[in-house]
């Protein structure tokens, strides 16, 4: 598509939007194309802040009683759109002269020329003036369509290419600095170790978990992981960006015990798939175990080893075979094999619980709540603890989380 010199800036923007809508990247993503066109029309013709409620009811047909606190549809779709935009501009749109961006934390679409200043008259220029983030790449990962697994290699290609655009000029809240103190003051950047289960088969014919009774270990594919783990790494990357600290990322199957001795570690995913968690100091109050009897036999649960009054002995998600509406996750901060190093565990009984655990430690309001429950001031020192998170799930995404059990742990 050629844009002639007499075309106005607004027309340039609309032509670029249509190029995106007709691209291979967005092909088949009807909901995202509809959202992109809506955001472009609003940005160019009706400048002003958009609310989740407005988008939910006008774009996605949600009813008038839609509550964004209970339904994260708009946030999820906006995140997917950011990811697709990032994918497009790192592949087929790498030579496009005009970049369309959806900055994190807003629903106002921005347009700017590649490696140049924002377009005069565009919402980005009018709203942000000399915004220093213009021209940077956006988005962090490419999610697979399935909620069951995501192709990590593709996801982290985009993740590595999109870094600081949303971070410039942001300041980390005090709660972030208290909670993450152990991981931002060490001599080396922390490692994030994400789970990647052992699968056999092929994506086009069907993947399933490795069964040692019938499958050869040579058939294992260990480069897939749940979407919750992918989104968790994204959230953690954003947090450490705010804290001006780099991270390193490694999949669980490549992790070694030498890493435990020499680094601060953040484990993303449960021991059911993050098998290295079974070999290092882990939780002592809340542990993952398979149910051994009854109708929930073989389901993964969080076992409460020392129940307090009013607490159940076991936390277990929605039964397999039913739509997931409730999950549980462990958030635990413990010393490593080397006491000078720290280990943080963020693990759900499903990939959605893992995603919720990472979200919980990536948000100011929830961290402030946790620090309050642990009686840690905003100038205090973070001590070891273990916690259980109950996660409400709707349409495959976490929409609400609450602490249901918490223990301070002796150092």
pLDDT tens sequence across 218-246? 887 767 778 889 899 999 998 999 899 99
CA 411 remoteness from chain centre = 30
pLDDT confidence tier of residue 387, bands split at 50, 70 and 90: very high
Q: Which residue has the higher pLDDT, 322 or 262?
A: 322
Return the bridge partners of 389, or none. 329, 403
- Identity of the highest mean pLDDT range in 93-102, 147-156, 259-268, 343-352: 343-352
pLDDT digits (tens, 9 = 90+) for 304-317: 999 999 999 999 99
Query: Quick one: what percent of the chain has pLDDT higher than 70?
Result: 80
Q: Which are the contacts of 123, defined by CB distance < 8 A and separation ≥ 6? A: 43, 44, 47, 108, 109, 110, 111
Phi, psi of 303 (to 5 degrees): -95, 130
pLDDT confidence tier of residue 123, bands split at 50, 70 and 90: very low
Q: Which residue has the higher pLDDT, 312 or 270?
A: 312
> Is this prediction's pTM over 0.75?
no
Residue 344 has pLDDT above 90, yes or no: yes
pLDDT confidence tier of residue 279, bands split at 50, 70 and 90: low
Q: Please report where in the chains the tokens 């609309």 appear, as a residue.
A: 14
Average pLDDT over residues 75-101: 87
CA 57 remoteness from chain centre = 25
Average pLDDT over residues 44-56: 85
How many angstroms separate the CA atoms of 67 and 126, rounded? 30
Q: Which alpha helices (DSSP H) does 100-256 contain, by range?
A: 123-128, 152-161, 174-179, 181-184, 227-242
Mean pLDDT of the chain, nearest integer: 79
């Amino acid at each position: 598509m050629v844009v002639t010199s007499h075309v106005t800036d607004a027309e340039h923007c609309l032509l670029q939007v249509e190029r995106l809508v007709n691209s291979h990247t967005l092909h088949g993503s009807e909901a995202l194309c509809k959202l992109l066109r809506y955001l472009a029309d609003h940005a160019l013709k009706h400048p002003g802040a958009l609310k989740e409620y407005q988008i939910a009811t006008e774009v996605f047909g949600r009813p008038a009683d839609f509550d964004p606190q209970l339904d994260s549809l708009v946030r999820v779709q906006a995140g997917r759109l950011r990811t697709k935009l990032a994918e497009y501009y790192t592949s087929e749109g790498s030579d496009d002269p005009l970049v369309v961006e959806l900055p994190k934390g807003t629903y106002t679409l921005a347009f700017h020329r590649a490696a140049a200043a924002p377009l005069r008259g565009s919402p980005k220029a009018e709203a942000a003036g000399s915004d220093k983030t213009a021209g940077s790449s956006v988005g962090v990962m490419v999610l697979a369509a399935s909620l069951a697994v995501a192709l990590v290699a593709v996801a982290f290609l985009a993740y590595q290419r999109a870094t600081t655009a949303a971070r410039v000029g942001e300041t980390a809240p005090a709660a972030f600095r208290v909670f993450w103190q152990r991981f931002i003051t060490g001599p080396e950047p922390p490692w994030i170790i994400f789970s990647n289960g052992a699968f056999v088969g092929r994506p086009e014919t069907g993947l399933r978990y490795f069964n040692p009774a019938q499958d050869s270990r040579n058939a294992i594919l260990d480069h897939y992981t749940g979407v919750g783990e992918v989104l968790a790494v994204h959230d953690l990357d954003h947090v450490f960006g705010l804290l001006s600290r780099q991270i390193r990322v490694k999949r669980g199957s490549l992790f070694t015990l030498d890493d435990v001795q020499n680094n601060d570690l953040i484990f993303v995913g449960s021991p059911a798939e993050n098998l290295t968690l079974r070999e290092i100091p882990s939780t002592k109050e809340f542990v993952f175990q398979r149910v051994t009897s009854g109708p929930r036999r073989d389901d993964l649960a969080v076992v409460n080893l020392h129940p307090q009054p009013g607490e159940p002995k076991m936390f277990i998600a929605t039964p397999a075979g039913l739509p997931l509406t409730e999950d549980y996750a462990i958030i635990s901060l413990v010393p490593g094999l080397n006491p000078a190093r720290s280990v943080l565990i963020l693990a759900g009984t499903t990939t959605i619980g893992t995603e919720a655990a990472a979200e919980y430690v990536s948000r100011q309001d929830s961290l402030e709540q946790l620090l309050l429950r642990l009686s840690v001031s905003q100038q205090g020192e973070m001590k070891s603890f273990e916690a259980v998170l109950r996660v409400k799930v709707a349409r495959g995404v976490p929409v609400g989380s609450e602490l249901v059990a918490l223990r301070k742990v002796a150092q």
